[in-house]
Amino acid sequence: MTARKRFGIGKMLAALFVLLFAGVSVALAQAWDALGHSAEGARLVRMQASPQWHDGRFHNPQPLANDDLWKILVGAFHKSDDATPKQPVPVVLDKRSDFAVPPASGLRVTWLGHATTLVEIGGHALLIDPIWSDRASPVTWAGPKRWYAPPLALADLPPIDAVLISHDHYDHLDRATIVAMKGWTNKFIVPLGVGAHLAGWGIPEERIIELDWWESSKLPGLEIVAVPARHTSGRYLFDRDKTLWAGFAMIAANQRVYYSGDTGMTPQFADIGNRLGPFDLSLMQIGEYDEAWPDWHLNPEQAIQAQQMVKGKLMLPVHHGLLDLAYHSWTEPMDRALAAAEKAGVRMVIPRPGESIEPANAPDAAIAAHWWPSLPARASASGDKMAAQAMDESVKPSAKETQ
C-alpha cells in the first residue's frame, strides 16, 4: 500500500471518528439536559418550608415499602408474555376540529394513553402529564417505547389553558414535549420543585405555578388544587424525592374532576373526598403495579377502593395501555379493574386511546366497552389467585360487547 493510500484511509478514519464523536457528544448533551435541573434560590427556600420536606428531601406521611431487589429479579422471570401488545392497539385518531365545539355538558375528557389526558372543564382546556415522545426516557434510542403514535398531534390540540404535571418521572414529564410548548401561552401547574426542570428547559418563570399539597391556583371559573399522593420522584440516581409529587382536583362551578397522579394506597384519599368531593369523574391510576413495589402504584382493586374513598361518581382508568413498565400483561389492569368495579358497583368507563367521554352521558351502570383482547389470566409470583379468578370472569366479553 502506497503512502498516499495510507494517508487517504487515515483521513477517512479520522473523519469518521470526528463524526462519531460529534454524534455521541450531541446525544450525551441531550440526555444530560433531559435529566432535568435542580432547584436553587427562592425556589429551594420555598420547598424547604413545606411540611412534606425534611432531611433534605420530600417525604410521604406513610413510609413506602418498595424497591425489593429480590422480588424485582424474581418478577422478571415471571413476566407476562403479553406485557406488550402483539397486535395493533385500537386507537381513535383525533383532529383539531373534534374540539372546535365545547362539550354540551361542560365536561369532556379525552384519554390519549398512559396518563396523558385532555380535560375540558369550566370553559378551559387542561392537559395532564403530556407525553408525545416515542420513549419515556432521557434518550431517544433506549427506554420504554410507546405502542402507538399519539392519537392527537401536539399541533392539533385545542388552545391549552394549563398543563398539569403530577411529578417528574419520565413517563409523566417529557422534556421534548415541554420544549415544544415554549412558544405557547399556557400556564404550567406543577408540584414544588418541578418548576426547576421547566425553567431549565426554557419555560418562562411567569408561566410556572408550583404548588404544595392543598394549595391551589385559579383560572376564571376554575380552581385547580394539588392534592396528596403516595409516591416518589427523581430523574436520575442522586435526585430521588428532591421534587414533590401530587394529584389534582379540578373544580368548576358545577363539575369536579380528580386525577390521582401516581400513588399507592393511602388514607389521604378519604381526606380528598371529604374536603373536595364528590367528583363527577376520577382519573384513577390502575397500571404498572407489582408486589416488588406495592406502595408505588395502586393495583386495580385498590384503585376501585380509592375511587370510593374520594367519593367519585364515575371512574376513568389511566396509567396503562401505552408503555411496558411492569410484569403484568398489558390488558390485566383493565380486566382486574372491570371485575372489581362490577363487584363493588362502581361506575367506570374504559375508553380507547383517543376516545372522548362526557361523564354526563355515561349510563348509570358500571360500563366498559371491551375493546381489548381477551388474554389468559396470570397469577402474580406470590400467587394472587383471587385476582386471577376475577380476571378470568372479566376477560370474556359479553355477546352485546362483541356485536
Q: In this model, does residue 48 exceed pLDDT 70?
A: yes
Separation CA 357–CA 286 (nearest Å): 18
Per-residue confidence (pLDDT) for residue 366, from 0 to 100: 61
Please list the residues that pair with 126 across neighbouring strands. 119, 162
Per-residue confidence (pLDDT) for residue 71, from 0 to 100: 78
Nearest to 158, CA basis, from 91, 209, 102 = 102
Separation CA 169–CA 191 (nearest Å): 12
List, for residues 336-378, the tens digit of each pLDDT value: 999 999 999 999 999 999 999 999 998 776 666 789 999 987 6
Which amino acid is located at 265 in the chain? M
List, for residues 230-282, the tens digit of each pLDDT value: 999 999 989 999 999 999 999 999 999 999 999 999 999 999 999 999 999 99
Place of cell 413545606: 50
Confidence of residue 84 (pLDDT cuts 50, 70, 90): very high
Separation CA 295–CA 231 (nearest Å): 7
DSSP string, 39-103: --HHHHHHHHTSTTEETTEE--SS------HHHHHHHHHT--TTSS-SSPPP-----GGGGSSPP
- Using a 10 angstrom Cβ sphere, with 0-12 exposed, 13-18 middle and 19 or more buried, the burial of residue 385 is exposed
Per-residue confidence (pLDDT) for residue 43, from 0 to 100: 98
Question: What are the CA-CA distances from residue 75 to residues 9, 79, 129, 335 (Å)?
Answer: 51, 6, 28, 20
- In the predicted model, what is the mean pLDDT of residues 277-306? 96
Single pTM value for the model: 0.88
Q: In this model, does residue 402 exceed pLDDT 70?
A: no
Task: Taking each helix axis as running N to C, give the angle between helix 300-309 and helix 332-344, from 0 to 180 degrees, rounded to the nearest 10.
Answer: 40
Question: Which cell numbers in the block locate residue 114?
Answer: 398512559
Per-residue confidence (pLDDT) for residue 237, from 0 to 100: 87
Per-residue confidence (pLDDT) for residue 176, from 0 to 100: 97
Place of cell 428547559: 201
Domains of the chain: 53-402 (3.60.15.10)
Phi, psi at 280, each rounded to 5°? -65, -30
Q: What is the CA radius of gyration of the chain?
A: 22
Residues 6+ apart with CB under 8 A from 311: 273, 274, 277, 278, 279
Separation CA 153–CA 380 (nearest Å): 37
Please list the residues that pair with 162 across neighbouring strands. 126, 187
Separation CA 286–CA 288 (nearest Å): 7
Place of cell 364528590: 278
Q: In this model, does residue 131 exceed pLDDT 90?
A: yes
Question: What are the CA-CA distances from residue 287 to residues 5, 104, 201, 338, 384 (Å)?
Answer: 60, 31, 29, 13, 16
Question: Which cell numbers in the block locate residue 187?
Answer: 400556564
- Classify residue 286 by its DSSP letter: -
Separation CA 137–CA 285 (nearest Å): 20
- In the predicted model, what is the mean pLDDT of residues 7-12? 50
